[in-house]
Each structure stands twice: as structure tokens, then as C-alpha cells.
Structure 1
Amino acid sequence: MSERIGMAESKEINRRQPLLLLLILIVCCYSPWQITSAQKRITTLPGFDGPLPFSLETGYLEVDEEKGVEFFYYFIESESNPEKDPLMLWLTGGPGCSGFSGLVFEIGPLSFDLQGYRDGLPSIFYKADSWTQVGNIIFVDAPVGTGFSYSSTAEGYQTSDSQTVPQLKTFLYKWLDKHKKFKSNPLYICGDSYSGKIIPILTLEIAIDQESSHAPFNLKGYLAGNPVTSSRYDFDSRVPFAHGKGLISDELYEVTKDVNIGHILEPSCEFHSPRPDYIRIKRDEKGYYDEVPLCDSGLPLECRESRYLLSTFWANNETVRSTLGIRKGTIATWHRCNLAIPYTYDIPSSVQYHLMVTNKGYPALIYSGDHDFDIPHVGTQGWIRSLNFSIVDDWRPWYVSGQVAGFTRRYSNNLTFATVKGAGHTAPEYKPKECLEMLQRWISGASL
């Protein structure tokens, strides 16, 4: 009897084996997001000729387990001394602008070849005036919905200033846990534009953790370029800025509507998408437009926005996505700046956080392009004056290659302010050489 039972059990097991194997394959291999390895080392990129001359890693880190929020990042090791050089977390503005925008248009070692573009996949080339010459830089897509960062739940996409800060702190904890060799490197929280609202708050949170526990941080300071801080200073300063630049009288402020607020000397270009695969480019003040096919050599070379379009062509290419390790089904269309994310602006001002963090002794570098009409330097100087710090080194020019690169003032509490002459929003995009020199001097402790 027991033998017959054993034979029956054996037959049943054999009958079930194909089904069990199928279930195992489904459990192990299937995910609605088709999740692959979280980190990926990249040695070549589509559009780049030859192997990359620097170390690039991409990856995802979960920053909210309950809501399934995953931040995507690009990490480039220092091209000088990665073991000793600072570790810098770079936050791009928006909110909703990808860390890739910071990488290729601002401080990273890659750039698009707009002059040589014809059609198809854009070419990219090495840029020597990169902040990776002196630092290890993490470019993160934050908040959720930015770049390739995503949520597996609808609730996860509902985000805000106050939610982004702890998620970024979680990101840093997890990133350092996976990259332990960088725990002792000097850490700087960096970024520009709207991230100026987030940077001092995140820096303060990290400072508190560092002082009260065995947190894996070696925080040394922070920097913010063309930073959003408070509408009272940022936007209310546009009239006096425009008046001071000779653009308008105070009474005629509305006349400046056709001025490029990113850089007042550059043409104002407006792109629209009236039908699939085409864009409309504004040609004159009367509202006339030219239609240009996407991925076409007709992109206007005088428009900075044309380079931004190249990043859209590049990042939405399937070969590029595969190379970067992007999880299929997570982001349908990549946007350089996704300004449609459901975001709540629940921290009206970060001025008090600048005060609290510098009171703890952490150095700060605040810089502005002096032709930026979006976040004018006069407004930034206004909120810095409101901190009532004494002046240590008064207003003076600073130089690069024997030429005036801008003007600077140093305050007590180790706060340095600098303008970058001829730069717009944001400064490194217009003056990469000068901004790299500014960074090198500041992190070394030298005066500008």
C-alpha cells in the first residue's frame, strides 16, 4: 500500500514539475517594470566616438518603499583623484529638470554637437571644462517624475518640496552604502535654479544627522548657483534689474516680455509642437513661425533651445535607453524638464535655512550669472544682506586668465557670493571655464 502511495506521489510530483518551473520563472523574472540590475557601469555611449575617457555609472535607488519611488542617477568619478576629491551631489532645477541636463549643459564632461547635427541620433563630445576635473559628481533625477525617475504607484508621483528633501537624504544614505569607498570624501550639496530652494534644507538635515549620529557623511559645505530662494527677493528684483540694465523704465516693465530671461543678450526663441514630428520656431515679434521637422538639420543654431532638443532626441532613442539601463515601461517619453509633474511648493522661502546651516559653520558659495533675468543677482544679494552677516572681504573683481570673471564679496559665517560676468541662467552653461576655476578656488579654501 505504502509503495503504491509512494509511486502515486512520485507521478504527481513529476506531473507538477513543468508547472512549478513555470511559476518559478514567473516569480523570478517577471515584473511590471521589468526591473534589471540597479547599477550599471558604462564605457561607451551612442553618439560618442570611442570609449568614454571617464568612469560613468548609472542606476536606480528606491527612496520611498511604501510608494515605490525610484530615483535614477548618473555618477561620474573625478578625472583627477577620485579617492581624495570631493563627492558632490548635483541637483538640477525646475522642479522637474533632469540631472542629465546638468551633466551635458552645465557642469559635466559631455556636450552635444549642434553645429554638426544633420538628423537622427545626435553626436556628443568630450568637454574639458567639467567639474569632474576636481570632483566626483552624482547627477540625480529628482523629484520623482523627473528624467528617468519614476514611481510604481500613482500616489508616489504626488510630491513636494518637503517630500523631496527626505527622499534625497534617503538616496544619499543608500548611495553611500553601495559606494562605501566614498564615505570619507568631503561631501558637498550642490545645484542651481529651483534646487536653490532644496539645497540648504537638505544640507541642514545632513548636518544634523552628521552631528548626532554615526551617519556616513563627511559634509563640508554647499553651493547654489542662480538659486531660487524666495519670491520676495527672486521675482520682485526683476524690475530694478531690468531698469539697471537699461532695458526699461520701471513704468514699462511689461515691454520686456520678449526678452530672453535666461540671458538678456541672447535671442528669445519659442518652440511649439503643432503636429507630430514637427516643431514651430518663433521668427519675429509679429508672431510668424517656421515649421521644422524634428531630427532635422533646420534647427536654428542661434537658439540655445536647439541643443535642449538634441537631448530629447538622444534620451528617447531606444539604443541609448538600453545602454543607460533604463527600465522598460517606466517612462514613456523623457523630457529635459518635465514641468507637468504634480508638485506642491510648500516651502515658500529657504532664507532661514541658509542662516541655520552657515551658523553651524558649514561654508557656502552662492553665485549668479550677471545677465540672468530669471533669478536676478540683485535679488540674491538682497536675501544675503538680510542675514546681517558682517563683510569680511568687500566687493571686488575676481579674475581668470588675467581677465575680470565677475565680482565677489565674502561674509562672516564662511558665506561667499560671486557674480559670473556675461553668464545667464545658469552660469556654468555660459562660462564653463570661469565657473570651474571658481569652484576649484572655493573648495581649496582659497579666496576667489
Structure 2
Amino acid sequence: MVGVDVAVRRQGPDVVSPNLNFALTPMNLCSRWCRYVEVDQDHGGEFFYYFIESENNPAEDPLLLWLTGGPRCSAFSGLVFEIGPLKFVAAEYNGSLPSLVYHPYSWTKIANVIFLDSPLGSGFSYSRKYEGYDANDTIWSEQAYKFLIQWLVEHPQFISNPLYIAGDSYAGKIVPMVAKRILDGIDEGKEPLLNLQGYIIGNPATGGKVDKNSKISYAHSMGIISDDFFEMIQKSCSGQAYENPTTSQCQMYLNSFTNCYVYALAYYWANNDIVRTALNVKKETIKEWVRCNIYLPYTKELKSNIKYHFSLLQRGYRALVYSGDHDLVVPFSGTKQWIKSLNSSIMEGWRSWHVGGQVAGYTMTYSNNLTFATVKGAGHTAPEYQPQECLAMIMRWISGELL
């Protein structure tokens, strides 16, 4: 792997202008490595990643591998919009390079974080042969595992750190698959032996029909759609709207549930030549960076990942499942249903959890080491909307405290 060391510093609200060193202010925030790891030798495929050390104690703090959903949304989105130490200055684009500021609620407060552009075709990850872009759930999880093994071989100082696999949205399907693959490697005695402790998924897709069909009832319960409209959907779709849109009328009603997000500043920033040089992006690999690459082939072959949850939880691994309670993409009501299907007894019943004396959401803990939490007022990517609350949540959970 060939890469550059990128330093990030902060000084109050001062902005960050990317250069070869990302030198910002006198106070050193963290060090970052932006590099490639080969995961597909046959097709010349390499994953690009951003590694950010913990601001606390890198030698002992957990190592967290972050996967962004989509599939094929760049991990840079998770870095600057969700859990990383930098965020864009909210301002209208004026033709100059967008500015970044320090994000005080970064998960790097307590963990070393690898933000991984995966699968191939996401962010700056690339394949020299087009066939390498033909991905599915299994390929993604296997290549993520291969990446992690290779990364730890080259960074042995982190092998003993507690390891957590994390991600949100569609990555909620993949995270348990990667964790299970790690477990299989441990059972096989594959070196290096990873210190897996558990996994973290936010607003997670599971692949089951419960994710999709819960959208209608959730929108109705939140007052987003009227009683009349809800009844029309139920009648025309036979109660199985997303799973089985049996009529054209049913399909027409479903068009009301289209969501669009605009992250224009990230496009201008990531496609700047100075930025690409600083990140050590290989020339002629990715012509234009896009936040989510929807045009490359991807097969969603996994219908449900419940079996992976069963396997991991039965072996004693910890799990944190969190959901923004204003998410219409993967409503928390559907997440609660599949968690219930795991048939684990309740250790601590439904209650509120708090940050700064205010209700931050609701939580429940199960005997299988799974903690479920809602984040009050948060949408599909919960840390983007409620960063302070989500940092408090992850800090408490990592340390073994009750939320």
C-alpha cells in the first residue's frame, strides 16, 4: 500500500482548507491515512479507505470498521456527515473550495475508525476490469473481510484492540455478514486472530419484507399520510405494499415514498485536484467522485440476514442497533419486529435514555447482548441529525454502561 499521512488540526471555528498536509491550526486533532488495499487480484480491484486515529488513546481504544450503505455510497459520507471529526461549513456554493470545520461529536473521541469505500465502485475504490464491479452481498462482505485481514497485517499495532464492525442503512445487511466471517476465521485459526467484540448497525436494512412494509404504517402513525390515503394503500396493496405491489394502482400510491438527499458540497470537494492529491487518490482510476454510485451492477441476493444475528449473538458477541425515530427509509417499527423475532428475553424493559437532562430516545436491552435504541428527532442517518446524542449513546455502549 502506498499512501500519505494527513494531519488534521483545529482552532475553534476556523475552516479547513485541504492541502498536502491538511495543516489547519496549532492543535493536532488526529492523524489520518488515506490509502488502498487490494481485494480482488483477478480484476485489479482496490478498496480506498480513510483511517482516523482515536483522539483519546489510539493504542488501547477500539478499532471500528465503518461501512456506508447504498449499496455503493462512499464512506466519505459517513466521515463528514455522520461520525467523523470534520464537517462542511453550511454555506451556498460560491465556486471556491468548500470549507471544513472540526466536528466536536465525532466517534473518534473514543475509537480508531476506518471509513471504507466499499464495495468496488464506491467513492475512490476501483477495479481495473469492469467485471470487478459486478458485486453482491456475499462479495461485498468477503472483500471487506479480506481488506480487514490485510489492513491488520500491515498495522499489527491494532490487532489487540477491541474490534467492532459498524455501518448504517443497507450496510445493516452487510455488517453482520462481515462479523460472522470474522467469527468463522477465528474458529478456523486464521491469522491474525481478530479481537472481535461485537457490531453496531444504525437504521439498518435486514433484507426482510418487514423493513419495506413497515413504511406505510409508520408514515400513517406519524401523521405523514392521511387516514384515507392509508386505507387506500391497504385496500389496493392487500397489506403487503412494498413486498407485493400487485396492481398498478398500488404501485402508483407507492410513488409517494421517494426520498432525495442533496450533498452538493461533498461533490465539489472530492473532485478537486488538490484534495485528490492530498488523499493520494490514484490518477485515472475514478474520473468523477459521486456520493452514491447507482449505475454499477449490484445483486441484493440476501433475502434476510437474521441468521447472522442469531449466530453472532448466540456466541456472546455484543450488538447495538439504533434507529432515528423519524426515519421513513427503514422505520424503527420494522426494526423492532425483526429484533423481536430473535426470541430473546428482555433484560431491561422499554425506557427513555437521556443526554443533558433531556430525553434522547428510548431503549431496550435483551439477554442475548443486544441493545436497541431509538434516537429522538433523527432521520435515516441518525448521527447526521442528532450527533451529540449519538456520541453519548456509542460512548456508553462501548464502555458497557446502560444507555
Q: Quick check: 2:7–2:23 contact (8 Å CA) kept in 1? A: no
Q: Answer yes or no: is 1:338 the counterpart of 2:293.
A: yes
Give 1:307-386 correspondences, 5 Å limit. Answer: 308-386=263-341
TM-score (norm 1): 0.79
Deviation at 1:211, TM superposition (A): 3.0
Match of 1:222 in 2: 199
* AA at the equivalent of 1:310: L
What CA distance in whole angstroms lies between the structure 1 residues aligned with 2:55 and 2:92? 27
1:186-225 equivalence runs, <5 A:
186-216=162-192, 217-225=194-202
Between the aligned partners of 1:316 and 1:77, the Cα distance in structure 2 is 25
SS of residue in 2 equivalent to 1:198: helix
2:66 alignment partner in structure 1: 90
TM-fit CA distance, 1:98 = 0.5
Aligned to 1:50: 24
Aligned to 2:221: 244
Say which of 349, 363, 376 aligns to 1:421. 376
Shift of 1:230: 2.2
Tell me the SS of whatever aligns to 2:66. Answer: strand
Change (3 A) 1:334 1:186: same
- Residues 260 and 405 from structure 1, CA distance in 2 versus in 1: closer, same or farther, beyond 3 angstroms? farther
Aligned match of 1:387 in 324, 330, 342? 342
Larger Rg: 1
The question of whether the paired residues in 2 share the 8 Å contact of 1:38 and 1:61 is answered with: no
TM-score of the two chains, using structure 2 as the length reference: 0.88
Letter of the 1:50 counterpart: L
- Name the CA shift for 1:71/1:177 in 2 (closer, same or farther; >3 Å): same
Q: Residue type of the partner of 2:165?
A: I
Q: Deviations over 1:58-112 (max 9, x none)?
A: 0000011112110000000000000110000000000010011000000000101
Distance 1:105 1:161, change over 3 A: same
Gaps of 5+ in 1: 1-36, 262-269, 271-303
1:406 is paired with a residue whose SS is strand
> Residue 138 of structure 2 aligns to which amino acid in structure 1?
S
Partner residue, 1:281: none
RMSD: 1.7
Unmatched segments (≥5 aa) in structure 2: 9-15, 234-251
Taking the aligned partners of 2:268 and 2:23, their CA distance within structure 1 comes to 18
Q: Secondary structure at the match of 1:80?
A: coil
**Residues 1:134 and 1:145: Cα distance change in structure 2 (over 3 Å):** same
Q: Offset of 1:387 from its aligned partner? A: 0.8
SS in 1 for 2:213: coil
Cα deviation, residue 49, structure 1: 7.0
**In structure 1, how many angstroms separate the alpha carbons of the residues matched to 2:41 and 2:122?**
18
- The residue number in structure 2 matching 1:284 is none
* Aligned counterpart in structure 1 of residue 127 of structure 2, from 145, 151, 156: 151
The total of aligned residue pairs comes to: 369
- 1:128-149 CA distances to partner (integer Å, 9 max, x unpaired)? 1000000000000000000000
Query: What is the aligned partner in structure 1 of residue 241 from structure 2?
Result: none
Deviation at 1:212, TM superposition (A): 3.0
1:70 to 46, 53, 61: 46
Q: What corresponds to 1:181 in structure 2?
A: 157
Q: Equivalent residues in 2 for 1:93-104 (5 A)? A: 93-104=69-80
